Chain A
Amino acid sequence: MNVAFEYVNKTLIARIEGDIDHHSCDAIRKRMDNEILEKNPRNLIFDMDMVGFMDSSGIGVLLGRYKQIAGQGGKIAMIKVKPQVKRICEICGLQKIIPVYQDKRQAIENIKEC
């Protein structure tokens, strides 16, 4: 499990690699929280291109980061979401609060407009 970070201005793009389940979610949560604490980004984009599987444990991780960023007035989005991950997000109603965009460019444009 790895999470790679990239910044576009004050927007943090977190590229998660591997399955997101109960086993991996602790490591993802710690990596992300350290980065957020250290760099204090305004917005957050989850790049899900390398996530082939996610269960409801992953929903907990995404929601937790949503609360952190949205609580500070920031925006949050997901990009490059695979069908299985999209499906579980829909069941849990996540797409109502974390919009899904095709790619980084589209997500950044939409975050700016908000």
Chain B
Amino acid sequence: MKIDNEMKLEFLSRSQNESFARSVVAAFVAQLDPTIEELSEVKTAVSEAVTNAIIHGYECGNGNVVIIARIIGDSVEIVVQDQGKGIDDIEAARQPLYTSKPELERSGMGFTVMETFMDQVEVESQPGIGTTIRMYKSFKTE
């Protein structure tokens, strides 16, 4: 598949960067002329993935979060990577209401939100190595 455009963003795992990250990706995706609703969906999915990297990947410690976004035709591929602790049980993590940190008042709905708002979500993770989330979404031009 021919890549029409690509961007890479790398930032420290600070919660202040969650808003920055979702805004940058939304601005990049805007060139596909999405509806306001579609853009909100992308922003929310990115926010969930970045929050997971910060809270679960790095457990609020230091590390870098990398986002790569690629535009291929009328679709976007968004990759969110961390080199944090990884996910022990990906299937469990993807279940609605599952949280590994119940003491933090988390809803456990992060992956469910990503899966609802994006067309496809793939998770690769290795304990001690890190986690890569790949999300895909098509924008139908009328």
Contacts and interface: CB of A to CB of B under 8 A. Distances in A.
A91 B47 CA distance: 16
Contact of A60 (B37, B48, B105, B113): B105
Interface residues of A, number: 20
A63 B16 CA distance: 23
Interface in A1-48: 19, 21-23, 29
Contacts of A61: 105
Interface residues of B, number: 24
Contacts of B16: 23
Contact of B47 (A21, A59, A64, A83): A21
Interface string B3-43: 00000000000011011001000000000000001001001
A25 to B, nearest CB: 8
A22 B18 contact: yes
B54 A22 contact: yes
A63 B105 CA distance: 8
B126 interface: no
Contacts of A88: 44, 113
The 3 closest A-B pairs by CB, nearest first: A23-B15, A59-B107, A84-B40
